[in-house]
Copies of this chain bind each other. A is one copy, B any other.
Amino acid sequence: MSGRQAVSPRSRRQARLDLILEAAEGVFADAGFEGASMSSIAAAAGLPKANLHYYFGTKEALYRAVLEGILTLWLSATDPIRPEADPAEALSAYVRAKMRWSRQRPQASRVFANEVLHGALYLQSYLAGPLRALVREKSAVIEGWIAEGRMRPVSPPHLFFAIWAMTQTYADFDPQIRAVLDCPPLDEQAQAQGGATVLQLVLGGCGLA
């Protein structure tokens, strides 16, 4: 059928971009922005360094592209928090989604954490923009639940900070957790127990136990 080759130029280019972005995410997660070198990212991608510069121009541009890919995922988990939902179910679903994210994309979480940790200079517009808006919106939902007596009074933004911190710690502080628990490989049972503990604290703290 037709002369179109199986791999279109568009997708060839996209595959190259994705290959580089994936390698870059891993190196940025391990070493941070300053610690990562273009040569090490190139080595991780199996490409010559000059090729990365052809596609992304500068290290900063590559870093921003990695961050952008992470942010698109970052905002999508709050869906279950809607006024008509059951508070316990909604918060449980949200916590579970965040735990899943830490388990499946730990590198993304660590790149994000590293960025915020060092001042969030590339993320400020995102934090003060879409993220703030999202927190405002979802906080209103929670305030509604509280007003209706469906859960204990809490400061909704701080509840979000707590949930983010507790769930992301399983990605960001993984070396500490593994060292303390003495389980070098990714222990599935430990992560399940962690998720259960986080849920217990959130639900218990909100009077939904």
What residues make up the interface of A, taking CB atoms closer than 8 Å to B? 30-35, 110, 113-114, 116-120, 123-124, 127-128, 131-132, 135, 152, 154-155, 157-162, 164-166, 168-170, 172-173, 175-177, 179-182, 193-194, 196-198, 200-207, 209
Chain B residues positioned under 8 Å from A200 (CB to CB) = 152, 154, 205
Chain B residues positioned under 8 Å from A157 (CB to CB) = 180-181
**Minimum CB–CB distance for A171 against chain B, Å:** 9
Pairs across A and B, CB under 8 Å, 16 listed: A31-B34, A32-B32, A35-B118, A120-B179, A128-B180, A132-B180, A154-B200, A158-B196, A158-B197, A161-B166, A162-B201, A164-B169, A165-B173, A203-B205, A204-B204, A204-B209
Contact B177 A161 (CB under 8 A): yes
Chain B residues positioned under 8 Å from A118 (CB to CB) = 30-32, 35, 114
